Amino acid sequence: MNSLHVSNELSQLLEESNVHIQLSVPQLVEKILSRNEGKLTSTGAVSVSTGKYTGRSPQDKFIVMEESIKDKIDWSNLNQPISEDVFNNLYHKVLDYLKQKNEIFVFKGFAGADKKTQLPIQIVNEFAWHNLFAHQLFIRPSEEELLTHKAGFTVISAPNFKANPSVDGTKSETFIIISFEQRTILIGGTEYAGEMKKSIFSIMNYLLPENNIFSMHCSANIGVEGDVALFFGLSGTGKTTLSADPNRRLIGDDEHGWSSNGVFNIEGGCYAKTINLSREKEPQIFDAIRFGSVLENVMLNPETRIADYDDAILTENTRAAYPIQAIENIVQPSIAGHPNTIVFLTADAFGVLPPISKLTKEQAMYHFLSGYTSKLAGTERGVTSPEATFSTCFGAPFLPLPATRYADMLGEKILEHNAKVFLVNTGWTGGEYGVGSRMKLSYTRAMVQAALEGELNNVETVKDDIFGLNIPLHIAGVPDEVLQPGKTWSDPQAYEKKAKELAGKFRENFKKFTKVNSEIEEKGGPIA
C-alpha cells in the first residue's frame, strides 16, 4: 500500500457526510454532552473518564519498519518495530470501522510555533471529546491558514476499535503505531487522550533533529529582562508547576524545539496534572481550567458539579487540557531567544540527591543522558507507587533516535550560548519514599528563582562526597540544612548507604552508553 493509496482512502473517509471538520469549542462541547461522552463542571470544563486506560501504554507503541528510516531509529523496547503488513491491515480495518460511525470529528492544526519549521497535522477522532482535546493541545490555524492547510501527518484515533493480537499482530487490544512513510499514526483500543499528544511529540523528535533542531521534553518561560529558562523532567516532577510562574511569561509547558534562532513551543496548549490541585498552590493552572477545558478522570460533586482534585479513586494521573491562552502571562507567538538557564528536574525517591546543585558541562551531559527520576503513580498503567527509573534525556519513551544524538545537540547548545545548568530534586528529603517527606514546593520555588535570577552563579558551594555535585551553602528562603540532604536524615549511616546505592544504579545504567565520550562519565558521574 503506497502513500498515494493511503491518502486517497483517507480522503474518501473525510468526504463522508458524517464527518465534522474543524468544529468550534462550543460546538464540540455540545456534541460531547449530546453523545453522553462527558459532563460539564461548574466552571464549564468537560469532565470525562478514560476507562481502564488512565495512562500511556508504552508496551503497545510501535514504529513501522520502513526502508527510509530503519537504519536511523534506535530500535528497543521503547521503539518497537512492527511490519508494514500489520500497519496496512489495521489501517484498512480502522478506516472501515470509522466509516460505520454516525459521526467522526476532524481537527486541522499545527505542531511547532515557529512557522519556518512547523508541521501541519490533522487529528481524526471517533470521540468528540478527543477532538476537543486536540483542539486545546495543538496549535489552531487562522481562517486563512485553514484554507491552504495540507496535513503533513495524520493521527487516526478509534478508541472503541479493539485489536485481536492473534490476528492483527499486536501485543494487546491496544495499539499506537507510527508510520513515517505513510505520515500516519494509528491509535486504537485506548481512550487515554495523552496518546495523541505524545505520538505527535514522538514524530517531532524524529523530524526536528533531522533539520538540525534540538527537540526537547521540557517546559520554558521568559523573564522580564528577556532571559529564557528551560525545565526538563518527566511527568510529575514539576515542569508545568514551576514554569507557570506569575513573574515570568510562559512559552510552553512540555515540548519545545531549540533552533539557531532560539526556542519555540511545539504545542498550543497545556496538559497539567491536577491531583491535589488548588488555587493556593498553583493559581495559574487552577484558573486556566474554564469553559472547554478537558478534565480527565477528575471526580465531580454530583450536586454542585465542582471538581474534586484531591480524589484519586480512578487514578493519581488526573489531567487538565487547556489552551495556552488560558494562562494570562504567556508569550505569543510561543517563541523566544536562546536559553540562559537550564533546569533538570528529578523526583528522587531515594531522598539522597540535593534539592539543587550546579552542574558542569560534563555533569549536565551525564545527568541528561541518565534522566534519573521516580516513575510516579498513575503515569503509566500498573504503576501504583513511585519507582526509581532512568529515562534517557528525560523523555526516552518519545525519542526515536539514539540518545547520543540529542545529548550531543544539548552539549553544543550549552557551549554555544553559555547556558547555566542546575539539577533540582523535587522528590523526597529526610529519608527515602515512605520514610521522608516530599520537598516543599515553596523551597523549590525559592531555589529555582535564585537560579533563574543568576544569584547562584558565583555563590559558595560544597561538593557532595558521593555524587560530586556542587551544592550552594545558602539560598534565601531555604533552611541551610535542607540544601544538604545528608543533614536531613536522622541516621547518617543510612543516608550514606542509600546514596551509594543510588550512585551504583547511576553507574550501572550508564554502561549502556557505549559510544559516549569517556570524559562525560569520568567528570560527570558519581565520585564515590
Known catalytic residues are 56, 198, 217, 235, 239-240, 254, 319
Q: How far is CA 318 from CA 54, 102, 383, in A?
A: 8, 30, 14
What is the helix (H) or strand (E) element at residue 335, kind and residue range? strand 335-336
Rounded-to-10 torsion of CA 271, 244, 452, 352: -60
Residue 125 β-bridge partners: 105, 157
Which stretches does DSSP call E strand in 30-134? 39-40, 46-48, 61-64, 80-82, 104-111, 119-125
Q: Which residues of 381-409 are buried (b: 16+ CB within 10 A; e: fewer)?
A: bebeebebbbbbbbbbbbbbbbbbbbbbb
φ/ψ of 263, rounded to 5, equals: -100, 155
- Cβ(256)–Cβ(230) below 8 Å: yes
Q: How far is CA 47 from CA 5, 101, 321, in A?
A: 38, 23, 11
- Retrieve residue 479's grid coordinates: 533552611
Q: Give the 3-state secondary structure of residue 36.
A: coil
Q: How far is CA 498 from the centre of its chain?
A: 29
The length of the chain in residues reads 528
C-alpha distance from residue 362 to each of 229, 405, 486, 522, 524 (Å): 20, 16, 24, 8, 5
Cell of 39: 459532563
What are the E-state strand segments in 164-282?
A: 175-179, 184-188, 214-222, 228-232, 249-252, 255-259, 262-265, 269-273
Angle at 62 between CA 59 and CA 64, to 5 degrees: 165
Alpha helix (H) residue ranges in 355-402: 361-370
Select from 436, 451, 457, 474 the least CA-distant residue to 353.
Answer: 436
End-to-end CA distance of the chain: give it in Å, rounded.
56
Nearest residue to 368 (alpha-carbon basis) of 348, 395, 388, 341: 395
- What DSSP letter does each residue of 184-195 carry, written as one string? EEEEES---THH
Helices (H), ranges, 296-420: 361-370, 403-417
Q: Are 122 and 154 in contact (CB under 8 A)?
A: yes
By CB atoms closer than 10 A (0-12, 13-18, 19+), residue 470 is: buried
CA 103 to chain centre: 30
